[in-house]
């Protein structure tokens, strides 16, 4: 099976979730024996269709432009058995780069009018065109974000060249967060499996699709975490790319935000087979307390104090946030008695162990 995979994401270097998903799909297709070529539209020169209809009149089937579409992509597309269109979702549809490409497929259509079985007028195809797979990712957490796009794609579909699969992954930006390492692996494994299934049987099983679409968190949590992230980007004066390249950490401004973020940095395995309680008594900007019930599989955040925490940290709120965001050295601040720890100090060190 000959496949061309056309990627319209402008982002590169691990930042593009479209590319990440596409690479897994292609990996699976190649493993199943397909010959797949990836075409990144960001490297190509594709002019806009100028609506001259030269390809329908003076030179039937031939576009007037001389660019990467006419020289390379169109010929490869007509020879392919399957085309994968991979696009980020922009404004509920394909991005403009993919849309520009789609308009340039006009030479594949004849100008004549025919009527289908429902009495609807249409233009017949000039020659064989490949079946299609559409892959898209988006930022919002709900799968319904793709509804308009899916309806639109159906309106583009012809029975001679059906869409065999729509692979849509919502909440794609969160996928690469270290909180979801296991889920990311499962989503990418499932996407690779989808590639194998498409080559083997021409469709994706329900089970594989539901693994691809698995939710990461509820929309309320998504919004809270997202807002802390964007506020941190703005406060640091960095782009999203720079935030990740500099290894920055989102900063909590309130105890509630801290309770939401903190569990993600804790080595919960340090709790062993039991439960440990880690409490913070903050001072300075706020005098609130909170504590975390930690077992190896779960961390529950609670407001207020616990009577018998295994570890109690008393710290100025802003100082502790400086330590969390690597702006202050936790060990140095401890030696200088800027905060205190009571209880099991070695347990605390284990709980805070990085990359455990
Ligand atoms: C101009 C623009 C429009 C977007 N529109 C939507 C949208 O309608 N719905 C959505 O959930 N995400 C939207 N997003 C977010 C992208 O879909 C998301 O960041 C995705 O990961 C981008 O794909 P990439 O990682 O391959 O670049 C938009 C992003 C941009 C830059």
Q: Is the pLDDT of residue 218 over 90?
A: no
Residues 207 and 310 in one domain: no
CATH number at residue 325: 3.30.1050.10
pLDDT for 338 equals 97
Specify the pairing of strand 276-283 against strand 289-295: antiparallel
pLDDT of residue 301: 95
* Number of the ligand 1 atom closest to the C-alpha atom of 17: 25
pLDDT tens-place string over residues 140-156: 999 999 999 999 999 99
User: 62 and 193 share a domain?
Assistant: yes
Q: Would 83 be classed as within a structural domain?
A: yes
Q: Does pLDDT of 355 surpass 70?
A: no
Asked whether residue 282 falls in the same domain as residue 309, the answer is yes
d(CA 170, CA 138) in angstroms, rounded, equals 5
Q: Please work out whether the CB of residue 171 comes within 6 Å of at least one atom of ligand 1.
A: no
Helices (H), 203-327: 206-212, 219-236, 240-245, 255-261, 317-324
* Nearest-atom index, ligand 1, CA of 93: 8
Query: What distance in angstroms lies between residue 146's CA and the mean position of ligand 1's atoms?
Result: 11
**Domain match, 208 and 262 both:** no
Task: Name the pLDDT band for 31 (thresholds 50, 70, 90).
Answer: very high
The answer on pLDDT for 49 being more than 80 is yes
Same domain, 224 and 337: no
3-state secondary structure 1-27: CEEEEEECCCCCCCCCHHHHHHHHHHH
Which ranges constitute the DSSP H helices of 37-143?
Answer: 68, 74-79, 96-103
Residue 41 within any structural domain of the chain = yes
Measured from the CA of 172, which atom of ligand 1 is nearest?
Answer: 21
Whether residues 184 and 284 fall in one domain? no
What per-residue confidence (pLDDT) applies to 356? 58
Residue 315, beta-bridge partner list: 282
39 and 167 share a domain?
yes
Counting the structural domains of the chain, the total is 3
Residues 178 and 222 in one domain: no
Pair (153, 197) in one structural domain: yes
Q: Which of 6, 16, 138 to mutate to test the pocket of ligand 1 (most atoms within 8 A of CB)?
A: 138
pLDDT in tens, 67-122: 999 999 999 999 999 999 999 999 999 999 999 999 999 999 999 999 999 999 99
- Non-local CB neighbours of 129 within 8 Å, separated by 6+ positions: 77, 78, 105, 108, 158, 160, 161
Q: Is residue 270 part of a domain?
A: yes
* Domain boundary, last residue among 246, 264, 297: 246
**10-22 mean pLDDT:** 94
pTM of the model: 0.91
Any domain includes 302? yes
Q: Are residues 262 and 171 in the same domain?
A: no
| pLDDT at residue number 159 | 86
For residues 281 and 314, the answer to whether their CB atoms sit within 8 Å is yes
Q: How many helices (H) and strands (E) does the chain have?
A: 14, 12
Given a cut of 70, whether residue 205 has pLDDT beyond it is: yes
pLDDT surpassing 80 at residue 129: yes
Contacts of 12 (CB under 8 A, 6+ apart): 19, 42
CATH of the domain at 148: 3.40.50.360
Domain of 148, in residue numbers: 2-212
In tens, the pLDDT along 188-203 reads 999 999 999 999 999 9
Residues 295 and 153 in one domain: no
Q: How far apart are CA 267 and CA 297, in angstroms?
A: 10
34 and 78 share one domain: yes
In a mutational test of the pocket of ligand 1, which residue from 9, 14, 88, 233 has the highest number of ligand atoms less than 8 Å from its CB?
88
| Residue 282 resides in a domain | yes
The rounded Å distance from CA 140 to ligand 1 centre is 8
**Residues above pLDDT 90, as percent of the chain:** 87
Rounded mean pLDDT, 5-21: 95
146 occurs within a structural domain: yes
Q: Is residue 25 part of a domain?
A: yes
pLDDT tens per residue, range 296-309: 988 999 999 988 99
Whether residue 168 has pLDDT greater than 70: yes
Give Cα 95 distance to the centre of its chain: 16
- Indicate the pLDDT class of residue 160, thresholds 50, 70 and 90: confident
Backbone region of residue 53 per phi and psi (left: phi > 0; alpha: psi in -120 to 50; beta: other values): left
Q: Decide if 128 contacts 142 (C-beta within 8 A).
A: no
Q: What's the pLDDT score for residue 179? A: 75
In a domain, 356, yes or no: no
């Amino acid at each position: 099976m000959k496949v061309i995979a056309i990627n319209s994401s402008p982002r590169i270097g691990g930042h593009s979730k479209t590319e990440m998903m596409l690479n897994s799909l292609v990996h699976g297709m190649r493993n199943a024996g397909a010959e797949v070529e990836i075409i990144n539209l960001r490297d190509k020169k594709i002019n806009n269709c100028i609506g001259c209809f030269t390809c329908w009149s003076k030179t039937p089937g031939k576009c007037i432009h001389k660019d990467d579409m006419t020289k390379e992509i169109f010929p490869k597309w007509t020879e392919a058995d399957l085309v994968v269109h991979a696009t980020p979702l922009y404004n509920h549809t394909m991005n403009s780069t993919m849309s520009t490409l789609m308009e340039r497929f006009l030479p594949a259509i004849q100008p004549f009018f025919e009527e289908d079985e429902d009495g609807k007028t249409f233009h017949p195809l000039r020659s064989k065109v490949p079946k299609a797979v559409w892959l898209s990712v988006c930022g919002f957490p709900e799968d319904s974000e793709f509804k308009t796009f899916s309806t639109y794609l159906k309106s583009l579909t012809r029975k001679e060249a059906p869409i065999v699969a729509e692979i849509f992954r919502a909440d794609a930006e969160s996928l690469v967060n270290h909180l979801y390492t296991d889920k990311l692996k499962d989503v990418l494994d499932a996407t690779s499996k989808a590639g194998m299934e498409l080559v083997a049987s021409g469709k994706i099983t329900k089970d594989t699709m539901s693994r691809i679409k698995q939710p990461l968190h509820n929309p309320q949590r998504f919004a809270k975490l997202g807002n802390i992230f964007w506020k941190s980007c703005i406060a640091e004066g960095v782009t999203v790319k720079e935030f990740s390249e500099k290894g920055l950490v989102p900063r909590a401004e309130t105890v509630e935000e801290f309770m939401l973020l903190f569990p993600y940095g804790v080595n919960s395995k340090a709790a062993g087979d039991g439960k440990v309680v880690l409490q913070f008594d903050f001072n300075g900007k706020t005098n609130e307390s909170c504590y975390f019930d930690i077992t190896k599989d779960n961390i529950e955040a609670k407001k207020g104090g616990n009577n018998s925490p295994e570890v109690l940290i008393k710290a100025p709120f802003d100082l502790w946030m400086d330590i969390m965001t690597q702006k202050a050295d936790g060990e140095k601040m401890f030696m200088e008695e800027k905060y205190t720890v009571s209880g099991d100090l070695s347990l605390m060190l284990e709980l805070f162990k990085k990359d455990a």
